[in-house]
Amino acid sequence: MFYEGKSKYLVAVDCIIFGFDSEGLKLLLLERNFEPAKGKFSLMGGFLAEGENTEEAAARVLEDLTGLNDVYLEQLQAFSAVNRDPGARVVSVAYYALINIEEHNHASVEKHSAFWVRYEDIPELIFDHKQMVDKAIARLRRKAATMPIGFNLLPEKFTLTQLQKLYEAIYQQNIDKRNFRKKILSTGVLNKLTEKDKKSSRRGAFLFTFNFEAYKRLEESGGLFGVNI
């Protein structure tokens, strides 16, 4: 039969988990407390189980680590170099996740010896995980420029300054405040609240929420959500 005699392989998923707070863009990494590569740093991963697809496996692994479900999750690609994992032949499918860093389950993260690290300070990673991270940031940069995925990294209510800092962190460059505000407000996808955030200034900054409806309308009418950097 057609499938007979074909080799089978372990299939894993690895998650590049992005978070964002006042210190900048961050990744959630593991210090491995198991072999192979015990004591070294890695992405969170897991093996594909029989009743699930890789996206479900990634979501499971992610929930196991962060306690979060219903997270923005997107496949990057498969990594399949023959010796990428010295312990066994494993084909790994990489996913990147955007989560609201404030909402994750700290206990669960500690239990896994996981920790948040600034994007600028990522340590050496095992296997091909650095390659995965590089792919992830490239994809995030591309996507964030034309689609409103950045909002997944922010709390529901955020200030324009926070939003700008997020884009600056993603693109690792400064953005002109006036141009940024003009552009983002002109898309009409932000709802300005009457409420102010007083944490970061005495004056206080207006809070905004993302308007999914307006975005959908914008998208359907062919308009694009373009944030220039």
Partner DNA sequence: ATTCAATAGTGTTATGTTTACACTTGTAAT
Partner DNA sequence: ATTACAAGTGTAAACATAACACTATTGAAT
**Residue 172, binding choice from a second copy, DNA, none, Cβ under 5 to 8 Å by partner class:** none
Count of residues engaged in binding a second copy, rule: CB under 8 A: 33
We find the least distance from the C-beta atom of residue 209 to a second copy, in angstroms, to be: 29
Q: Which of 118, 85, 90, 110 is nearest to 19 (CA)?
A: 118
Lay out the site mask for a second copy across 56-75 (x = CB under 8 A, - = otherwise): -------------------x
Residue from the set 53, 77, 172, 228 that interacts with DNA by CB under 7 A: 228
Q: What is the Cβ-side half-sphere exposure of residue 142, based on CA atoms within 13 angstroms?
A: 7
Long-range contacts of 74-83 (CB under 8 A, 24+ apart): 74/139, 74/143, 76/16, 76/132, 76/135, 76/136, 76/139, 77/135, 79/14, 79/128, 79/131, 79/132, 81/128
Q: Which residues, 114 to 133, sit near a second copy by CB under 8 A?
A: none
**Residue 51, binding choice from a second copy, DNA, none, Cβ under 5 to 8 Å by partner class:** a second copy
CB 154 within 8 A of CB 209: no
**Residue 108, binding choice from a second copy, DNA, none, Cβ under 5 to 8 Å by partner class:** none
We find the least distance from the C-beta atom of residue 92 to DNA, in angstroms, to be: 37
The SS3 of residue 73 is strand
Binding site for a second copy (CB under 8 A): 2-3, 6-11, 34-36, 47-55, 75-78, 80-82, 87-91, 93
